[in-house]
Structures are given as C-alpha cells and as structure tokens.
Amino acid sequence: MIKAGIIGSTGYAGVELVRLLTQHKEAEVVWYGSRSYIDKKYYEVFQNMFQIVDDKCLDDNMDELAKQVDVIFTATPQGLCASLVNEDILSKVKIIDLSADFRIKDVSVYEKWYGIEHKSPQFIDEAVYGLCEINRDKVKNARLIANPGCYPTCSTLSIYPMVKEGLVDVSSIIIDAKSGTSGAGRGAKVNNLFCEVNENIKAYGVATHRHTPEIEEQLSYAAGEQVLINFTPHLIPMQRGILVTAYANLKKKVSYEEVKAAYDKYYANEKFVRVLDKDVVPETRWVEGSNYVDVNFRIDERTGRVIMMGAMDNLIKGAAGQAVQNMNIMFGLEESMGLEQIPMFP
C-alpha cells in the first residue's frame, strides 16, 4: 500500500486528490496538510467526506512528512514546493508538485512570468514534466514530477500530433481557451464571486497568461524548434471544465484521413485521450468528473488552416487525476488505477 501525503489538501485540487486516493485500492492518504485548517477534522472542511475521512488537518512540515510516506503531493501556490524541497527529502520520498515550480526549464523564464524568485533551481533539470501520454518513460524513474498545468495539458494534447508530425506552421498557432471558475483556486477573490461571474464571459491574462511559456516549451520539444503562440484564456460561469480551440496554418493540403492517422498514431492506445468521431466536437459536459481528454479537429480548406479542439475537467486530468496517473506510473501500477470514473452527466 502506497502511503501518500498531501500538502494543500483543502484546495480544489487537494480535495480531488483526497477523493481519488481514498478510492484507490493501492494507496492511502496518511497526511492531510493544510495551513488554514490545522487540527480541524477534514470532513469539517468538506462535508462530503463525513464518515469517510476522520483525520485532522496537519501543517506543511515536509521534513517530517517525508519520514512517513512514499509520495508527497504538493497542491499549493507557486513557490511553496520549491522553498521546501531539498536533497535529503528527495532521497526519502517521491514528490509530485501540482504547482508550476518545476515545469519550466529556464529559471529566468519562470521568474519573469511568475514574478517570484525560484528557491531550488538545482532541481529543475531533474524534474520530469508529467504529461503522461508524452513523457511516460521518463516518469517511470523520476523522483520529482512537475505536474502540468490545466490549460497546458488540454492545449498540448489537442495540438501535439499536428506539431510532432510537422503538418502545421508552428509560427501561426493561436489558442483560444475557456475555463470554469475552479481553475482560479479556492481562495476568496472578488472577481470570482457569483455576481461577478454569472451571466458573463471575459478574456483575462491577454498576452500575459503565465501558462503561455509552459505551452510554448512543450510544443517546442515536439516541433524541434522554438514555438511562440498567442494564448488567450477566458473565464466562463461554470464550476469546472476546460475547452480549447486552437488554430494553425497547414503546411500542405491534407485529407481528413491523413490528419486522423496523425492523431491515432499518438493516441490510439491511450486510455485517457479520446479522439472523437468525424465532425463531433469536444464538450466539457462529456468529460466532467473524469480523467479523459476529448480531442478532435476540423480542416478548413477555404483558409488552409486546421482547427484543433480539446475538452477536459481542469481539476481531474488538469490537476489531481493526472497527478494520480503519474503516481501510478512511478510505482509500477496499472496507469488507470483509481481513475476509472465514467464522466458525470448531467
């Protein structure tokens, strides 16, 4: 039985980690970390855990935690994991970090986009970017995983086959993305109040969103050259879900069958990436509560472009589910263990 500790267990991603791991037949949570609720019973924070989780919330003492568990999940704001991790801890335990601290390989890029000093840059090169479908072999032997961001997961998986196969002009990529309000976290913010969000949609982080360099870096690896994109996210009045619609110029005239073959080349054997039937567009309602990503494409012969689409649950495949998927790979378990939930509807 894998013993797991969670730092940041009372955020939205944290409670999803608890929910998934509580139902995992080869893992158990033994440390529910939360600075805000120390000594309060977990079910008193989340009543859905009544008579399921009776443990009390603890602090974020990573040194002590490393002595008690096999894996630590850090579902915390940027900077915390980097400030806590050290060689002694990594020699004892595996870490799956759900923040951006180890996703970007150039520390100066991280510090520029996130506006904070990186506290442990010596571990950046070692950290494995945990996009399982692409880096599975590297994840297997890792001791530090940078769990991808929600927008980058959906964006990269939607676009990856086209870039990897060299079918699109990478300088022309434009990503339009939309997310439910849980993507902003559980902290109280005026902009996320019901009256501010309901009956409204807005772009935010225009040309400045901090997931931009993460997406660019992953697509650059796929392309074998530097990729710069336009990425514009939007906030929509729903609790969870991400929809990505991306555009790029085709390098040559291609048929539906050629593009479908490219997607099938990378995803035909992937449990959690579903390439939809022709002309079926991804919808967030068909992936909610699951670890699935639905992707598809449409060729626009009139403009010579391809439209690439993806939908997923930002809290599952975009955070906690992908973290559990990484854990399964790291410990040699069936990759889908604990993640078999069928999407919820309605």
Catalytic positions, written as ranges: 150
| Alpha helices, DSSP H, located in the chain | 12-22, 42-45, 62-66, 80-84, 87-90, 107-114, 132-140, 150-164, 194-197, 212-223, 256-267, 321-330
E strand or H helix that includes residue 254: none
In sequence order, what DSSP letters do the residues of 48-80 get, joined into one string? GGTTT--PBEE---HHHHHTT-SEEEE---TTH
Residue position matching structure tokens 């998934």: 20
> What's the CA gap between 108 and 51, in Å, rounded?
47
Under a CB-based contact definition with an 8 Å cutoff, are residues 167 and 249 in contact?
no
> What's the CA gap between 243 and 314, in Å, rounded?
9
Q: Tell me how far apart the terminal alpha carbons of the chain are, to the nearest angstrom.
A: 34
Order across the sheet with 305-312: list the strands: 202-203, 230-235, 174-179, 242-249, 305-312, 293-300, 273-275
Closest C-alpha among 246, 221, 310, 230 to residue 273: 310
The secondary structure of the chain in percent helix, strand, coil, rounded to multiples of 5, reads 35, 20, 40
> What's the CA gap between 18 and 28, in Å, rounded?
9
